[in-house]
């Protein structure tokens, strides 16, 4: 009686994967609130002038006017709210470089090891 040899298992053929494209850096997002969106548009129009005078600083804007300039966003907003309390104020970084996207780590439960 002849023994039959089992047929080889079909091999899994993997298709070549294209290299991952780098994620595009993005500029500061445009706010959704209509007043702040209009303020953002004014900021973009003022950006070349601001780059000459205060690059790398945060500016607080309202009605197309620079209310405060500071090294950090909180200081700019605080100074602007002292001048115009109770109104919405937009504070943005004066830069021509894209703002890096902040990413949060994905937390996964640890796997139990066999003891």
pLDDT digits (tens, 9 = 90+) for 6-58: 666 666 677 676 665 554 445 677 888 999 999 999 999 999 999 999 999 99
Q: Is 84 helix (H, G, I), strand (E, B) or coil?
A: coil
What pLDDT, on a 0 to 100 scale, did the predictor assign at position 9?
64
What pLDDT, on a 0 to 100 scale, did the predictor assign at position 76?
96
Residues 97 and 24: beta-carbon distance below 8 Å:
no
What pLDDT, on a 0 to 100 scale, did the predictor assign at position 36?
92
Residues 27 and 98: beta-carbon distance below 8 Å:
yes
**Residues paired with residue 66 on neighbouring β-strands, in sequence order:** 61
What pLDDT, on a 0 to 100 scale, did the predictor assign at position 8?
64
Rounded CA gap, 20 and 4, in Å?
46
Rounded CA gap, 54 and 71, in Å?
10
Rounded CA gap, 6 and 62, in Å?
78
pLDDT digits (tens, 9 = 90+) for 61-103: 999 999 999 999 999 999 999 999 999 999 999 998 877 666 6
Angle at 45 between CA 44 and CA 48, to 5 degrees: 85
pTM, entire model: 0.64
What pLDDT, on a 0 to 100 scale, did the predictor assign at position 25?
47
What pLDDT, on a 0 to 100 scale, did the predictor assign at position 77?
96
């Amino acid at each position: 009686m002849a023994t039959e040899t089992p047929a080889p298992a079909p091999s899994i053929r993997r298709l070549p994967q294209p290299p991952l494209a780098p994620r595009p850096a993005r500029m500061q997002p445009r706010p959704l609130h209509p007043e702040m969106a209009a303020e953002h548009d004014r900021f973009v129009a003022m950006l070349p002038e601001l780059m000459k005078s205060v690059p790398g600083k945060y500016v607080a804007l309202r009605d197309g006017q620079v209310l405060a300039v500071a090294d950090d966003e909180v200081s700019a907003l605080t100074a602007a709210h002292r001048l115009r309390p109770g109104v919405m104020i937009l504070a943005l970084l004066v830069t021509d470089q894209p703002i890096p996207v902040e990413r949060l780590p994905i937390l996964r439960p640890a796997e139990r090891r066999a003891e």
